[in-house]
């Protein structure tokens, strides 16, 4: 007989007690398909150092990309905005490449096969829009 312990966490897959009883109290969670921002939050896809610098060389950094002076401020693509976001109030919108303040992002769970980090931020955490040169 399973004991229902309030506030307990799922101990993990395949755990059993001495009698062989399954200790998994909760069903497995479905895989994550994405994250939808709420309110005026903004969903950003963070670019890594190699993409920003245009190199495949790995740049070691013990305290993250913001500590590397060659890298500068973190850069990201705006992928989605919440229903309360007003593009005309902030000067950027979905699809823009932006500069981000450090230390203000809420990390999102990674989707299977995703290589970049995704974060949620307040609209004011975006400090600028990157203007790219045209290829013409």
pLDDT of residue 107 exceeding 70: yes
pLDDT tier for residue 111 given thresholds of 50, 70 and 90: confident
Q: What is the pTM of this model?
A: 0.70
Q: Which of 132, 90, 107 is nearest to 43 (CA)?
A: 107
Report percent pLDDT > 70 for the chain: 76
Q: How many C-beta atoms surround the C-beta of residue 99 within 10 A? A: 15
Q: What is the mean pLDDT of residues 105-117?
A: 88
pLDDT of residue 42 exceeding 70: yes
Can you give the pLDDT at residue 90? 96
Can you give the pLDDT at residue 119? 95
Which DSSP string corresponds to 21-75? -B---SPPPPPP------TT-EEEEEPPHHHHHT--S----TT-GGG-TTT-S-E
Can you give the pLDDT at residue 68? 52
Q: What is the mean pLDDT of residues 14-22?
A: 73
Mind listing the pLDDT tens digit for each residue in 52-74?
777 666 656 555 544 555 557 89
Domains of the chain: 42-129 (2.30.33)
């Amino acid at each position: 007989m399973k004991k229902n312990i309030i506030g307990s966490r799922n101990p993990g897959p395949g755990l059993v007690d001495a009698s062989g009883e399954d200790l998994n109290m909760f069903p497995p969670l479905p895989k994550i398909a994405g994250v939808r921002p709420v309110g005026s939050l903004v969903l950003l896809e963070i670019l890594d150092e190699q993409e920003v610098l245009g190199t495949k060389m790995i740049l070691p950094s013990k305290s993250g990309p913001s500590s590397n002076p060659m890298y500068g401020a973190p850069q990201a693509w705006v992928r989605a905005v919440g229903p309360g976001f007003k593009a005309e109030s902030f000067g950027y919108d979905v699809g823009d490449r932006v500069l981000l303040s450090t230390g203000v992002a809420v990390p999102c769970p990674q989707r299977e096969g995703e290589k970049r980090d995704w974060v949620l931020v307040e609209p004011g955490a975006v400090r600028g829009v990157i203007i790219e040169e045209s290829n013409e």
